[in-house]
Copies of this chain bind each other. A is one copy, B any other.
Amino acid sequence: MAELRKTAIADVAAARISIRGYEITDIIGRVSFASAVYLILKGELPNEKQAVLFEAILVSVLDHGVSPPSTIAAVTVANTGAALNAAVAAGILAINKFHGGAIEDSMTAITEAATISDDPDEAASVFVSKSKALGRRIAGFGHRQHAADPRTDRLFELARELGLNGKCVLQAEAIEKALSESSGRLLPINADGAIAALLCDLEFPPTAANGIFMIARVPGLVAHVIEEQERNPPMRTVKMDEYEYDGPVNRQLDTA
């Protein structure tokens, strides 16, 4: 016997739609898109500071050029004449354990470390030793491309300004220190780890992490698919590992 499906996300009737209890007509024009995303994922709207930080997190992973596997998959499929949605879906299929998924693993690691002791440094030291003994890499530290990921500093700076650098951020910073001491080389928090710490302090569950990464990255995938179909002939052989940027450079925000 089929069960009646239950849902707590949206209520849709003839002349109204509500999201997590808010009428859609009440939030259109009053709540930012990122805050509405926060609402649908957490069930609650963010306060003003949380909203600013969540916008920043989404912006920080909006795009990473042509080299991530999600972009390669989307562009490869786009070049065969696929519809926009099919090419974007192929890109999303690449947002997995080893690409994007590090945020979830890093949230789990930071959360686990934080339960060891109330002192972040002590917790980090125990956690790093234990991981080393088990031969486990700690997700969210070190980066293939950016010696020091510029997004990490900016996100943490913003969190401090907003007073939102909570227990998880402190724990992540303590892990970075312990890891570097233990390994003798710099293993800085990367963007995955920084976002993990911030989402953890915003009290998102680790299971939402990959979803948040996807939400942030889909606009980048859409842009790459449209560009591929506008600029290139079908079925070309694409050199995936090299590219030339030919867009605008050195633009400044107009902050008058």
Instruction: Point out the residue from B52, B87, B254 that lies within 8 Å of A29, measured CB to CB.
Output: B52
Give the complex CA separation of A97 and B32 in angstroms: 28
The answer on a CB contact under 8 Å between A249 and B18 is yes
Q: Please, which residues of chain B bring their CB within 8 A of the CB of A45?
A: 253-254
The answer on a CB contact under 8 Å between B18 and A235 is no
A215 with B214, Cβ < 8 A, contacts A14-B145, A240-B240 known: no
The answer on a CB contact under 8 Å between B41 and A223 is yes
Q: Please, which residues of chain B bring their CB within 8 A of the CB of A225?
A: 211
Q: Please, which residues of chain B bring their CB within 8 A of the CB of A37?
A: 33, 62, 219
Chain A, interface SS category: mixed
Q: Please, which residues of chain B bring their CB within 8 A of the CB of A147?
A: 14-15
Q: Which of A19-27, A106-114, A121-129, A170-178 contacts B (4 or more CB under 8 A)?
A: A19-27
The answer on a CB contact under 8 Å between A55 and B33 is yes
| Residue-wise interface mask of A (83-112) relative to B, using a CB-CB cutoff of 8 A (1 in contact, 0 not) | 111111110111111111100000000000
Asked if A36 CB lies within 8 Å of chain B CBs, one says yes
A7 with B59, Cβ < 8 A, contacts A86-B93, A234-B98 known: no
Give the complex CA separation of A232 and B98 in angstroms: 13
Asked if A31 CB lies within 8 Å of chain B CBs, one says yes
The answer on a CB contact under 8 Å between B7 and A243 is yes
Give the complex CA separation of A254 and B30 in angstroms: 11
Asked if A118 CB lies within 8 Å of chain B CBs, one says no
6 tightest Cβ-Cβ pairs between the two chains A and B: A8-B247, A81-B97, A21-B248, A211-B222, A12-B65, A21-B251
9 of the cross-chain contacts (CB-CB < 8 Å) are A20-B247, A21-B247, A28-B60, A29-B154, A32-B59, A33-B37, A33-B55, A77-B90, A208-B222
